[in-house]
Amino acid sequence: MTDPFGARLAAAVAGRGPLCVGIDPHRELLGAWGLADDVEGLRRFTDAVVGALAGTVAVLKPQSAFYERHGARGLLVLEDAVAAARAAGALVLLDAKRGDIGSTMAGYADVLADGHPMQVDALTVSPYLGPGSLEPAVRTARAHGGGLFVLARTSNPDAGTFQHARLDDGRTVAQAVVDTVGTWNGDDDGGGDGGWGPRTGSFGVVVGATLAELDVDLAGLRGPVLAPGLGAQGGTPGDLRRLFGADRAVVPTVSRDVLGAGPDPAGLRAAAERWAAELAG
C-alpha cells in the first residue's frame, strides 16, 4: 500500500460516503439467516455480505472473534473475505482489539504488513498495557501504509470505570489515549486538522456514538474517529452531529441494522443505502 491509510480512507469516504458496516456472523444471526452455525454457514454469510456491499461502502469491519471461534477453517473464510472486499474497493478494518507487548504485539500487527496472507487496511487495538505497548503496531502501520483505531471512550455501561480514571496530571485515561494517538498523527506523518482530506491522519480512536456527552477533547487528534453504536444500539446520525460536529473525520459503524436485512443481497444493499442517505442528510 503506497498511500497512508488516512489518505486512502479520506478518498474512500469522498467517493462512497463514510459508512462502515460491521460483519458480525454470530450464531444468532446465522440462525436468523437460515444458516447453520458451522464453517459452511459462516462462508455463505460472509460471501453474501461482501458480495452485496464491498463495491459500494467505504469500510467493511469483520469481527475476528466470530471467525476464530470456528478454528483454522473459520480464519480461512476471513482471509478470503478480506481479499475479496479489498479487490472490490472497500477498505477492511479488522476488529480484533489486539493488545500486548513487544514481539507479541508486533506479531498481531503483522496483519497490516505487505505480503501477509490476510493483509488488512487497519486494525483495532487496546491501549491498556500503556502507550509503549502499541509502538510495534505503530511502526508496522507506518511502514506499510496501514492504520490503527485505538479504544479511547467507549459507550458500554461500565467503560468509565477505567476510562474516567485520573492520571497524576489530572487527565482521564481516555484523554491520555486521545492525546497519545494525536502525537502519532504529527505533521511529519501527514496528520491534518481532524477533518477529511489528503492529510487525514492514519491513527484514530474509538468513541461510542451513544455517549450522553463527549467528555474527551479531540482537538489534537488529527485523525479519524470510529463511532460504533448506530442503529440497534440506539445511536443516530443526530448523535454523531451532537457529539462530533459537522467537520470532524468520523467513520460511523452500523452492523445489526444492515445485516438483519439479509440474506437477500438487494435487502443488504438497500439497508446500507438507507443508512448512507441518513448520514448524508
Active site residues: 97
Amino acid letter, 155: S
Of 16, 12, 22, 8, residue with least CA distance to 235: 22
Of 280, 261, 245, 239, residue with least CA distance to 21: 261
What sign for the dihedral angle of Cα 237, 243, 246, 247?
A: negative
DSSP of 85-96: HHHTT-EEEEEE
Rg (CA), the chain: 18
Task: Yes or no: say if 241 and 201 are a contact pair by the CB < 8 Å rule.
Answer: no
Q: Is the omega angle on the peptide bond into residue 263 within 30 degrees of 0, that is, cis? A: yes
Phi/psi at 13 (nearest 5 deg)? -65, -40
Determine the Cα–Cα distance for residues 30 and 140; give it in Å rounded to an integer.
34
SS3 230: strand
SS3 238: helix
DSSP of 43-100: HHHHHHHHHHHTTT-SEEEEBTHHHHTTHHHHHHHHHHHHHHHHHTT-EEEEEEEE--
Q: Cα 233 to the chain's mean position, in Å?
A: 16
